[in-house]
């Protein structure tokens, strides 16, 4: 029934002249060629969203939680839980998980309370319309261990001579707002930089959701291969072994800065940087594929570049994290428990078998 209503709405939309005009490119009407695929994508996304909301509602009906905590309320699954929790009167808490600047998680009013790392995210969220009383600085829960004993973490063991420099490139698949072409250009740029700097060992750390096919194709026919590609490993230990870390927008850039590693930030597209490393001065910015190898060389060997990156490190960390004491998870847990207690006091859901 819902799918039929969506199809009927799409049929009306297809007859709208203003909407159809969006498909006119250089005087050519591309609507007949594109609308079938576009309409199918809209229908599929709507059906997937509806199913996810129904599933989230069933979960909450079965568990009757006192509070719902999400780590990313911009994703369909997490947002579905936020929406259904709100309908059921269950408080929701969002725990900041990264630094990407264009996340839809910043939409005002998504979650009731937002646990954030520190001042830089607070300013951005307020500018986007979130209320100040929704935001609580707790620090980064995922970095408690890193700010504690993690800074003395032993580096990963690689089959590399101790005096050979290592560059770790933390990759990620094309994501929202980024074309597949940008991703492929970045992969090719890393390979070209590895060939241009044969004295440096290049290690590519794949994202957990990233397939290795593109990297395998780039290595084909090269002997020895210019890159070492790794999917599963202790990422922090790998970063600890690096002399330079390069990335496009991965949160591993934050980890590199925490560990005191020179950072190279690559953006080969036309969109603004999705993570603020270059703007904050903690990374060498790369805008073209040809600039990657020289940027890595400067991060490795140029005293002025390395001094500039080091000088920017502490201001960046101070602005990013409200605290670096290894107790962020405890503060976050206290907020969550407080929400649960208050929800019970006003007559919210009680888990089956639990006393009020």
Task: Give mean pLDDT, residues 116-143.
Answer: 90
pTM: 0.81
pLDDT tens for each residue of 171-221: 988 776 667 888 899 999 999 999 999 999 999 999 988 989 999 998 887
Identify each DSSP E strand in the chain by its residue range: 24-25, 28-29, 68-70, 92-95, 113-116, 135-137, 166-170, 201-205, 227-230, 244-247, 263-266, 283-286
Mean pLDDT in the chain? 86
Please determine, for residue 154, whether its predicted confidence score (pLDDT) is greater than 70. no
**How is the beta sheet containing 92-95 ordered, strand by strand?**
68-70, 92-95, 113-116, 135-137
Pairwise pLDDT comparison (230 vs 34), residue with the higher score: 230
Chain mean position to CA 272: 15
Whole-number Å distance between alpha carbons of 265 and 255: 13
Candidate from 26-30, 119-123, 246-250, 337-341 with smallest mean pLDDT? 26-30
Candidate from 220-224, 316-320, 348-352 with smallest mean pLDDT? 348-352
Chain mean position to CA 28: 37
Whole-number Å distance between alpha carbons of 118 and 136: 8
pLDDT for 336 equals: 95
Please determine, for residue 235, whether its predicted confidence score (pLDDT) is greater than 70. yes
Buried b (16+ CB within 10 A) or exposed e, 286-314: bbebebbbebbbbbbeeeebbeebeebbe
pLDDT for 1 equals: 66
315, 282 Cβ separation under 8 angstroms: no
Pairwise pLDDT comparison (263 vs 217), residue with the higher score: 263
Quick one: CA torsion of 295, 265, 206, 168, rounded to 10 degrees? Answer: 40
Pairwise pLDDT comparison (179 vs 273), residue with the higher score: 273
């Amino acid at each position: 029934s819902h799918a039929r209503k969506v199809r009927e709405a799409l049929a009306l939309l297809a007859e709208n002249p203003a909407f159809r005009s969006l498909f006119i490119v250089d005087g050519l009407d591309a609507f007949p060629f594109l609308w079938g695929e576009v309409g199918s994508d809209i229908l599929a996304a709507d059906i997937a969203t509806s199913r996810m909301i129904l599933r989230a509602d069933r979960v909450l009906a079965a568990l009757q939680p006192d509070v719902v905590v999400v780590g990313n309320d911009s994703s369909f699954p997490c947002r579905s839980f936020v929406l259904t929790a709100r309908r059921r009167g269950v408080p929701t808490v969002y725990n900041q998980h990264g630094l990407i600047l264009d996340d839809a998680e910043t939409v005002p009013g998504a979650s009731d309370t937002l646990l954030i790392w520190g001042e830089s995210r607070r300013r951005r969220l307020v500018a986007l319309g979130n209320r100040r009383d929704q935001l609580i600085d707790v620090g980064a829960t995922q970095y408690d261990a890193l700010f504690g004993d993690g800074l003395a973490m032993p580096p990963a063991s690689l089959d590399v001579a101790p005096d050979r420099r290592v560059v770790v490139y933390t990759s990620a698949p094309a994501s929202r707002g980024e074309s597949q072409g940008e991703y492929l250009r970045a992969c090719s740029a890393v390979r070209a930089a590895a060939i241009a700097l044969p004295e440096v060992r290049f290690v590519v750390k794949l994202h957990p959701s990233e397939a290795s096919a593109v990297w395998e194709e780039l290595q084909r026919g090269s002997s020895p291969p210019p890159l070492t590609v790794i999917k599963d490993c202790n990422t922090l230990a790998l970063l600890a072994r690096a002399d330079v870390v390069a990335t496009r927008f991965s949160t591993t850039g934050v980890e590199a800065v925490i560990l005191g590693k020179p950072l190279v930030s690559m953006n080969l597209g036309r969109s603004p940087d999705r993570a603020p490393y270059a703007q904050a001065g903690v990374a060498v910015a790369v805008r073209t594929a040809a600039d990657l190898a020289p940027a890595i060389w400067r991060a490795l060997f140029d005293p002025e570049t390395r001094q500039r990156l080091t000088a920017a490190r502490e201001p960046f960390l101070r602005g990013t994290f409200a605290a670096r004491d290894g107790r962020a998870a405890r503060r976050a847990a206290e907020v969550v428990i407080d929400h649960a207690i208050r929800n019970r006091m006003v007559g919210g859901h009680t888990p089956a078998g639990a006393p009020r």
